[in-house]
Structure 1
């Protein structure tokens, strides 16, 4: 580690030579390895940070990282807003740069951290897309027996809504994670954190039917069947892109807003629980949120729904 650090320090402290850009790329690669190995971030988070750092490396160019000042980084943050990025993406880019400079300090590559003075703008709390209970019922019935893999698709949609799991969590759900007799399943969320999630009769029946009628047929298409529960037509584990396309297709079939995504079912899960009287802490645990503040957005969603009801029906609204 000492030799590597010395070399990196030399690269960061030398003047702007043709290799300076390469030195920044090397540091960014080491930073991503640090996030992966030391911070244990999830693969999707690593990918997102990787995209952010590639954008930052391009902006830095041949400049030395140690020469960057607060004003320089502020200019970079201003440029981010010209890329038509969502507020959440801009905020994540800022966090990525701040974390990167903390890493450089830990490695002894820079002494001062100008990025710590850069703060994220407070983002508008965007109310997520939420389905009504009637829409959920229609959506869960949208796969028909004429669809080639309808058993899998019904089970997949049922699990998304019944558990509130993220799309990536449903795709990585393994058969051995199921405890249907005990009416729950084990879910691995962000950062490898595991949680137990209850599951209802509708989803249990759909999973059993899929496993009995279709999963074995799909698994037989590959020499070494994957452990994942939901398989594609080729016998491999269903990925997030395929799941997203299926959700879009079935939403369109029943005339639901085109903006609906797998995450909309997670939002609907949480909102309907709170509307039914569930405790916020319990919903937080089922969703796998590290902070209660993340879960609190669903109280705003429910409040917004109640306001609409009040405006629609109250004679003096």
Structure 2
């Protein structure tokens, strides 16, 4: 094992243990560090201590030549800045060469979301006479009714739901806890699923799972399983739109803001650490406001 590989491994352990980073974050950071180390090797640079601003400029130019988006480049720089901050803390390097690297602000695409008419079609397709149909309806109501991530949804347990307060305890990124309220539709679908459908799905399972949502055999439902369920529901609703679980989260945030919810509250509900992550949804709301203005104001157009 080379010294660079060993330093990378120590950095990943630091992310997992001290920073409590999610497995996905650790995976992304590992990939970004590997790309940088391979570039160092291609340039015959053997020591992390020898990286300087001129070398970083060459590296960034290569990323631009590869036609990576500004957002991807910014992520890689942020990762390497954190990597060198760790190396500096461990006294492996004397200074962080990435500390003063500045990039143009990343472009944030407007989130893809469902229109309310499309959601109405989607909510009408589940077969409420079957356990799987009841489960699917509950999943849909929870994802759209709370805005939680699919990774958070599949790790829910029955004990995390408080029907008296109509809230769900959610473990988000970095195992951070937050309470998210849910409405009457989600309450009804969840209650029916827990009392009627879930026991039937668990019937043939010798080792019942604590996980709230289960598959047809009574085992834990995965994020991939949720995507397959939603894909099937879209086809049954005869919708010509693409779907991914995050689209329901985008719809949750967009519809709240379009209806007058304040940005800080939506940030709390989504579990975003930074307000900038939530502000991307204001682009959709501004577009909606412009439509209302153009269609309503007497001096908006001739």
Question: Fold match, TM over 0.5?
Answer: yes
Structure 1 contact 230–238 (Cα < 8 Å) conserved: yes
Structure 2 contact 158–210 (Cα < 8 Å) conserved: yes
1:146 positional shift:
8.1
Where in structure 2 are the equivalents of 1:92-171 lying within 5 Å? 92-145=75-128, 149-171=132-154
Say if 1:134 and 1:59 are closer, same or farther in 2 by CA, change over 3 A: same
1:237 positional shift:
2.0
Say if 1:31 and 1:307 are closer, same or farther in 2 by CA, change over 3 A: same
1:23 positional shift:
2.0
TM-score under structure 2 length normalisation: 0.89
1:103 positional shift:
0.7
Where in structure 2 are the equivalents of 1:209-288 lying within 5 Å? 209-256=192-239, 258-288=241-271
Aligned to 1:26: 6
Say if 1:68 and 1:147 are closer, same or farther in 2 by CA, change over 3 A: farther
* CA–CA separation in structure 2 for the residues paired with 1:147 and 1:261: 24
Deviates more, 1:189-198 or 1:137-146: 137-146
Q: Which runs of 5+ in 2 are unaligned?
A: none
**Counterpart check, 1:190 vs 2:180:** no
Q: What is the alpha-carbon root mean square deviation over aligned residues?
A: 2.3
* CA–CA separation in structure 1 for the residues paired with 2:169 and 2:134: 22
1:242 positional shift:
1.9
* CA–CA separation in structure 2 for the residues paired with 1:84 and 1:244: 30
Q: Which runs of 5+ in 1 are unaligned?
A: 1-18
Task: Show CA shifts across 1:23-81 (max 9, x none).
Answer: 21221111011011111212222222222223223223262111112222232233334
**Counterpart check, 1:77 vs 2:60:** yes
Say if 1:230 and 1:110 are closer, same or farther in 2 by CA, change over 3 A: same
1:312 positional shift:
5.7
1:98 positional shift:
0.7
**Counterpart check, 1:52 vs 2:32:** yes
* CA–CA separation in structure 2 for the residues paired with 1:306 and 1:255: 29
Structure 1 contact 74–118 (Cα < 8 Å) conserved: no
Query: Match of 2:9, SS?
Result: helix
TM-score under structure 1 length normalisation: 0.85
**Number of matched pairs:** 297
Aligned to 1:181: 164
Say if 1:166 and 1:66 are closer, same or farther in 2 by CA, change over 3 A: same
Query: Match of 1:181, SS?
Result: coil
Say if 1:54 and 1:257 are closer, same or farther in 2 by CA, change over 3 A: farther
